[in-house]
Structure 1
Amino acid sequence: MSWFVNAEGGLTTAGYGAGILLMLVCLLAGLVLAGRSAGKQGMGVRQLAFCAMAVALAYVTSFIKPFKLPYGGSVTLLSMLFIVLVANWYGVRAGVLVGFAYGMLQFLQEPYVLSVFQVCCDYVFAFAALGLAGLFRGSKKNGLLTGYVVAVLARGIFHTLGGYLYWMDYMPENFPQSLKAIYPIIYNYSYLLAEGLITVIIIKIPAVEKALERVRRSAVQ
């Protein structure tokens, strides 16, 4: 493990290389499986292009942080929405795959390693969970909105689990004992729900709704 993680919990050069390699292998495997499940040899060029654009936009907007918490987590410029859009267009499999790719980019951007399962909770499972928005793909009314809310809540579950299992051990000795049972929930959902609320307000603006519908039609035609 020391080959890949330094004493501060960050990644070494070998760690970055292994992370990139793992992401590429998993993405290729996911693309093959997604294609087979759809009765095709692979995703269509249009779908691949829209998925790639969604990951790129999510990654770029994740750097724009109007509010950032001291122990990790921040309100970003609608970064989760782009992953949810893919799930809404193409279903759960594509959404989970794109969410996984985005999570790995987040890990490579700001890595912190306490254990393999902690990395899975904070990066792999949490961001892949955004793909659950695809469960509401067929909903004729408010499918995107419902899927987005469920995706945000699902992501929060894994961050909260990581908080209980790992991060609470790093709280100061004078941290109130009465708050330990609920602090990971409050901490993680504070920034997730704040960004979620802002995003919901924006996507319910009539002009934005029409623009998103035009993009959806272009993505799925």
Structure 2
Amino acid sequence: MLCEGAMMVALAQVLSYIKLMELPNGGSLTPAMFPIILFAVRWGLTPGLMAGFTFGLLQLIFDGAYAWGWQSMLLDYLVAFTPLGLAGLFKGKKWGIFVGTVVGCLGRFVIHYISGVTIYKILAPTEFMKWTFTSPSAYSLVYNGSYMLPNTIIALVIAAVLYKPLKKYILGQDLGN
């Protein structure tokens, strides 16, 4: 499990450099979340949360962290990537990779949303996508949703493509539990 976790975290880090889009205040579209979600669904909640935390730490160190102080570093990296491991709640479930992807991504979105409302509120009023926002809540919802929803879709598409050929692996049937 430990070796597989290290490989999945490393794969996620490498995939994080494939940026399909990058936003000005942090956030990007990448296929990076999928290996963490896959690991979580395969091994369970605690290992998944640890993999998500480790990936968040690597993102903070190597991805040129966009942060407004230590609070932002904590929330937007260490705390935000950890909930990807919530996918582990669906370990061994037939369609767990899909539900786990949605739950893990939703957990990450919630943390980014909280960060946007509490830390980035100093940017209000601000303009994003040709809209002017005076509400930190609305801004955080739109800003974080603009990359988290597509990232969730990317992870779901990867899961759909790999589900049939990797079904035994995803469900952990090769582990001989």
TM-score interval, smaller chain: 0.7 to 0.9
Q: 2:140 aligned with 1:184, yes or no? A: yes
Partner of 1:97, secondary structure, is helix
In the alignment, what sits opposite 1:7?
Answer: none
Is residue 116–residue 136 contact of structure 2 (8 Å, CA) maintained in 1? no
- Distance apart, 1:219 and its partner CA: 6.3
Structure 2 distance, partners of 1:178, 1:124, is: 28
Distance change in 2, residues 1:137/1:185 (3 Å): same
- Distance apart, 1:143 and its partner CA: 0.7
Structure 1 distance, partners of 2:153, 2:133, is: 30
In the alignment, what sits opposite 1:164?
Answer: 117
- Distance apart, 1:168 and its partner CA: 2.4
Structure 2 distance, partners of 1:218, 1:49, is: 18
Q: 2:105 aligned with 1:149, yes or no? A: no
1:127 to 81, 84, 88: 81
- Distance apart, 1:121 and its partner CA: 0.9
Distance change in 2, residues 1:100/1:67 (3 Å): same
Q: 2:50 aligned with 1:66, yes or no? A: no
Structure 2 distance, partners of 1:71, 1:157, is: 17
Structure 1 distance, partners of 2:175, 2:71, is: 35
Is residue 29–residue 147 contact of structure 2 (8 Å, CA) maintained in 1? yes
Structure 2 distance, partners of 1:81, 1:136, is: 15
Distance change in 2, residues 1:158/1:219 (3 Å): farther
In the alignment, what sits opposite 1:220?
Answer: 175
In the alignment, what sits opposite 1:107?
Answer: 60
Partner of 2:153, secondary structure, is helix
- Distance apart, 1:102 and its partner CA: 0.4
Asked which structure has the greater RCO (Cα within 8 Å, sep 6+), the reply is 2
- Distance apart, 1:214 and its partner CA: 4.4
Structure 2 distance, partners of 1:178, 1:170, is: 9
Percent identity of equivalent pairs:
36
Structure 2 distance, partners of 1:212, 1:98, is: 20
Structure whose CA Rg is larger: 1
Structure 1 distance, partners of 2:154, 2:7, is: 22
Structure 1 distance, partners of 2:106, 2:152, is: 9
5+ residue gaps, structure 2: none
Partner of 1:176, secondary structure, is strand
TM-score, length-normalised on structure 2?
A: 0.86
Runs of 4+, deviation exceeding 6 Å: none
Structure 2 distance, partners of 1:79, 1:173, is: 29
Is residue 90–residue 220 contact of structure 1 (8 Å, CA) maintained in 2? no
Structure 1 distance, partners of 2:118, 2:70, is: 12
Structure 2 distance, partners of 1:202, 1:114, is: 32
In the alignment, what sits opposite 1:199?
Answer: 155
Q: Which amino acid aligns with 2:164?
A: K
Distance change in 2, residues 1:182/1:199 (3 Å): same
Q: Which amino acid aligns with 1:51?
A: G
5+ residue gaps, structure 1: 1-46
